[in-house]
Amino acid sequence: KPQKERQRLPVVPQGIERDDFLKALAELKELLGDGNVEINDKPLRDGWYMEHPNTHDMMTILDEEEFVASAVVYPGSTEEVQQVVLWANKHRVPIFPISMGRNLGYGGAAPRVRGSVTVDLGRRMNKILDINAEDYTCLVEPGVSFYALYEALKERGLEEHMWIDTPDLGGGSVIGNTVDRGVGYTPYGDHWACHSGLEVVLPTGEVIRTGMGALPNNNTWQAFPYGFGPYSDGIFSQSNFGIVTKMGMTLMPNPGGYESFMYTFPNDDDLAQLIDIIRPLRISNILENVAQVRHVTQYIAASGHPRSKFYTGPGPVPQDVIRAAAAETPVGDHAWAYYGMAYGPAHIRAHKLALIDREFRRIPGARRIDPATLPADEYFWSRDRVARGVPDIHELRWVNWAPNGAHIAFSPVSPIRGADARRLFALGRRLHDKYGIDFFPAFCVGLREMHLIVEIVFDRDDAANKAAALACLRDLVDEAAREGYGEYRTHLVLMDQVAGTYSWNDGALMKFNERLKDALDPNGILAPGRCGIWPRRYRGRGWEM
């Protein structure tokens, strides 16, 4: 996309005079070094996934200037993170930590409060501190990406010995993704469940280590997540209670073989039966990884061709057009594609695959696609890589569906039940039709629940398109919540709304979070508003949206 070259004045955090802010930044330069503090006064450049900006959300659904940083700082150590935090308290400057800032679909690198100083941890704190090939664990800093961890295993000759787990895109940070409770697609796909041990700088500047890390000279920080006493890690995920500077992660032993498989199912209405078939298979681990059931519309978009290749009319691309396009592909004229992987030596895989085959074929017309018939650039092979922990970026292709393509996600949690899948599918279709938006549902089935991930792709240079996408999302969140479905994660712009849906007992959980926030961060400097948690200094003053 052509880059805008609009000159702009630096933003200043609200409540601070420009001169005072510039003086404060000069003080920070003294502490961190001149090159490690950058004022954000240049034109905002969106770049692309691998060269993304750390000043704003490159896929913004609002005006780019809404969630924009005033400056970016690059601490090089835990001690320097502490210095930044103390500086922020002294000057009452809101700071917003990112590990790498590739949180696309959920806000990218942007802070929630305009004019915050972004603390880009990843640029200088990017070491893999340990890989333990006997315990299958590692200890990483915020700037370690899934690609970097994978490459490190290769460099050490360990890639046959142990696997990492990666989300669909491998350029994100292991810590950033995990603290936002992101997911991947091997049996270790629940990243938060697979981490062990944090080092955290608190909003008042103290450093703590959680779990066994609190025991001096311990030898089990990455092996036993709980330690002794209250398990505090949870409050540092999807929150604004601390800055994570180190994290332990478990790694998966090479299972001794793997085999990807793909099934397709002919009708939209097959969804409910399929989900009911998946549930017992998934809970009993016959289906071993986060299973994906994708609608054919997204499959067509994942070809990387723009929507205009198929349809140039208004509103969603008609389903007969999608199905006609699909008929030319390996999916054929079918509605759903299931992607999975069986793990282990051939004889163990064969047993599981036979069970899966028998169950899936209960749906009339179900077809197993022979991978040998699929070309090398077919989406299936990207799923194959990701499900064996090999980082990839193929998944970006469907973002090209719209010109200047960007996306934002609606991601409610539901039981693994056909009736729920049917309800969510109907809700999504109705609201997408109402706003004239193409509907991309993908059901990602965890052990006892599933996330429905609906990606809304929009043209970031088209204000009407963005407004429709946002209005659609807001309706989706509210209507889903009324039916008992809540988001597992959300974009900055929706955080207040989503937090508001978790309102049981007169908002008791948010009241608890606010008490924690005020106790841990009395000056309210750390990521105000993240996940709907506002510190006292900001509450009720019009920041919520």
Q: Which residues contact 87 (CB under 8 A, 6 or more apart)?
A: 24, 27, 28, 31, 93
Pairing between β-strand 117-120 and β-strand 71-73 as defined by DSSP bridges? parallel
Task: State which residue, 180 or 420, has the beta carbon closest to ligand FAD.
Answer: 180
| CA–CA dist 68, 45 (Å, integer) | 12
Per CB under 6 A, the list member of 32, 113, 244, 322 interacting with ligand FAD is 244
Distance of CA 382 to the CA centre of its chain: 18
Distance of CA 400 to the CA centre of its chain: 19
Amino acid at 411: S
Site for ligand FAD contains 270 (CB under 6 A): no
Task: State which residue, 270 or 395, has the beta carbon closest to ligand FAD.
Answer: 395
Per CB under 6 A, the list member of 12, 85, 93, 98 interacting with ligand FAD is 98
Residue 367 phi, psi dihedral angles, 5° rounding: -130, 140
Task: State which residue, 47 or 280, has the beta carbon closest to ligand FAD.
Answer: 47
Torsion of CA 121, 126, 131, 135, to 10 degrees: 10
Per CB under 6 A, the list member of 38, 80, 168, 199 interacting with ligand FAD is 168
Contact 442, 407 (CB under 8 A): no
| CA–CA dist 86, 70 (Å, integer) | 18
Q: Which residues contact 430 (CB under 8 A, 6 or more apart)?
A: none
Site for ligand FAD contains 391 (CB under 6 A): no
Name the segment binding ligand FAD (CB under 6 A); options: 86-94, 104-112, 260-268, 376-384. 104-112
Q: Which residues contact 47 (CB under 8 A, 6 or more apart)?
A: 53, 58
Task: State which residue, 251 or 277, has the beta carbon closest to ligand FAD.
Answer: 251
| CA–CA dist 516, 241 (Å, integer) | 8
Site for ligand FAD contains 100 (CB under 6 A): yes
Per CB under 6 A, the list member of 12, 58, 61, 175 interacting with ligand FAD is 175
**Catalytic annotation, residues:** 106, 488-489
Site for ligand FAD contains 179 (CB under 6 A): yes
Q: Give least dist CB 407 to ligand FAD, A.
A: 6
Q: Give least dist CB 111 to ligand FAD, A.
A: 8
| CA–CA dist 55, 205 (Å, integer) | 24
Task: State which residue, 247 or 331, has the beta carbon closest to ligand FAD.
Answer: 247
DSSP-derived secondary structure letter, 92: T
Name the segment binding ligand FAD (CB under 6 A); options: 179-187, 259-267, 292-300, 323-331. 179-187
Site for ligand FAD contains 138 (CB under 6 A): no
DSSP-derived secondary structure letter, 212: G
Site for ligand FAD contains 421 (CB under 6 A): no
Contact 524, 537 (CB under 8 A): yes
Site for ligand FAD contains 172 (CB under 6 A): yes
Q: Give least dist CB 75 to ligand FAD, A.
A: 11
Task: State which residue, 169 or 498, has the beta carbon closest to ligand FAD.
Answer: 169
Contacts to ligand FAD by CB under 6 A: 97-105, 107, 121, 142, 167-169, 172-173, 175-177, 179-180, 182-183, 243-244, 395-396, 399, 527, 530
